[in-house]
């Protein structure tokens, strides 16, 4: 039986991918997914059906770039890296995220 995964709000996966690439540098998809799970304290479970469509979407938006390389296990892998446009988008999205969480906190802490 698999462990329950944490649902994240729509669009948040893109932010997490961009942030991970910004922090860690270029990496292949499998390594990226495992790093994101590690940072989440294993609350987040990513599979190929979630991470790769997001990577394709980010690549098509020119927020990340790809190139072929060879992995640590000597396999051909596609490596993903943040672009300048991706870094700018990340900064914008992080600011929006902070504004949104502040807004939600105000409502959660509101007194009758």
Q: In 3-state terms, the chain is what percent helix, strand and coil (to 5)?
A: 55, 15, 30
String of DSSP letters for 19-32: HHHHHH-SEEHHHH
* pLDDT of 1 over the 50 cut: no
User: With a threshold of 0.85, does the pTM exceed it?
Assistant: yes
What domains lie within the chain, and their CATH numbers? 12-109 (1.10.10.10)
Tens digit of pLDDT for each residue in 21-41? Answer: 999 999 999 999 999 999 999
Percent of the chain with pLDDT over 70: 94
């Amino acid at each position: 039986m698999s462990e329950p995964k944490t649902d994240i709000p729509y669009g948040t996966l893109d932010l997490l991918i961009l942030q991970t690439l910004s922090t860690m540098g270029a990496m292949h998809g499998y390594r990226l997914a495992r790093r994101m799970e590690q940072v989440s304290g294993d609350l987040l479970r990513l599979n190929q059906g979630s991470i790769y469509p997001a990577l394709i979407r980010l690549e098509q938006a020119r927020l990340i770039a790809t190139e072929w390389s060879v992995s640590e296990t000597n396999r051909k892998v596609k490596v993903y890296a943040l672009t300048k446009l991706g870094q700018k988008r990340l900064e914008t999205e992080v600011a929006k995220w902070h504004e949104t969480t502040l807004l939600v906190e105000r409502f959660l802490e509101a007194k009758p």
